[in-house]
Copies of this chain bind each other. A is one copy, B any other.
Amino acid sequence: MSTGPSVKDVAALAQVSVGTVSNVLNRPDQVTPDKRKRVQAAIAQLGFVRNESARSLRSGSSRSLGMLVLDVRNPFFTDVALGAEDVAEDHKYSFILANSSEDARREQTYLDLFEEQRVQGILITPFGDVLQRLEAMRARGIPSVLVDRLAGSEDFCSVSVDDEAGGRTAMEHLIASGAERPAFVGGPFTLQQVADRHAGALAAAEAAGVALQVFETPNLKFERGRQIGDIIGDLRQSRRPDAVFAANDQLALGLLQSFTAKGIRVPDEIALIGFDDIDFASQSSIPLSSIRQPRQLIGERAAQLLFDEIENPGGHGHQQIVFTPELVVRASSRQG
């Protein structure tokens, strides 16, 4: 129940001043080896652990980074997070991963938390309408970088892929493979990624002179894919799409599971392509075609941009890094 030993206790035991203890903790080479050892011994003996709250209260800085993703269950985001975490570790920052679950309320709650904890910077894949808030936070000294989402303005750094190009590529591929009644599955359209991927697909469809059916979903999760799969599967043949572009691989895998269960042959009856190219895409029952994003690299670059701004707030110019996604064709959309 005790609050544990403090620097004072350590100082007393080592017979030095509290300032010296603090120096051993933060600038060990400015302390005589003799005293340094005495202090370290005292720390070990008492089991002293520095109170981070007191530290960051006084010093103002917290040495931690927050990352807020749309869905931790999506391997795409854990891969991105891993890349970012590596960079954070190199800088000796701790890394707090939070999950908005595509829920605007949770997103706000976690931003509150980050702000209260005075994290030094935020990596975020926004869900709701948070850009204004992020700008306000930057003004108060907490910068942020948009991840997997192009900054519309020059006010943010962002690391993303060209979702529209990705969407276009996916749809062109489906049409080139013979699709006559293609569909897009995904949502919500307030999510920029979804809107862009759809816009690209629509452009490709229009260019080819075919109509694009749309099935809007409230989120991009596996379960939802299964549900839409059931709906699509139950359509009568003439109205049923013969090719589906899903806004991400989770949805696509859900669709695939439903189709498989219903005995719908993929790609013969319905061709299918996803987005992200998560590891499991290549391993699904029918290997899934997808649009590949450089997952870890996105995380690394985003963290690097964030550190650039943290360490050099004045001379930092906002940058938008945009990767070009890559078509990966597998059995789910290969021409029969």
Enumerate chain A interface residues (CB-CB to B < 8 A): 1-4, 47, 49-57, 60, 62, 72-73, 75, 78-79, 81-82, 85, 89, 94-99, 106, 110, 112-113, 115-118, 136, 140-141, 222, 253, 256-257, 279-280, 282-287, 313
For A115, list chain B residues within 8 Å (CB): 49
Given contacts A2-B141, A4-B141, 6 further A-B contacts (CB under 8 A): A1-B313, A3-B60, A72-B78, A72-B82, A73-B78, A253-B280
* Copies in the assembly, this chain: 2
Assembled-state Cα–Cα distance A60/B6 (Å): 13
For A54, list chain B residues within 8 Å (CB): 53, 57
For A72, list chain B residues within 8 Å (CB): 72, 78, 81-82, 97
> In the complex the two chains form, is A257's CB within 8 Å of B285's CB?
no
From known contacts A72-B97, A118-B52, infer whether A47 and B284 are also in contact, taking CB-CB under 8 Å.
no
Assembled-state Cα–Cα distance A85/B54 (Å): 27
Per CB-CB distance, the 6 closest pairs between chain A and chain B, nearest first, are A52-B116, A53-B57, A53-B53, A280-B280, A53-B56, A283-B284
> In the complex the two chains form, is A283's CB within 8 Å of B253's CB?
yes
Distance (Å) between the CB of A249 and the closest chain B CB?
10
Distance (Å) between the CB of A38 and the closest chain B CB?
22
| Sampled A-B contacts (29; CB under 8 Å) | A1-B141, A2-B141, A4-B140, A4-B141, A47-B136, A49-B115, A49-B140, A52-B116, A52-B117, A53-B53, A54-B57, A72-B78, A72-B81, A72-B82, A72-B97, A73-B78, A75-B75, A85-B99, A89-B106, A95-B98, A96-B97, A97-B99, A257-B283, A280-B280, A283-B283, A283-B284, A283-B285, A284-B285, A285-B286
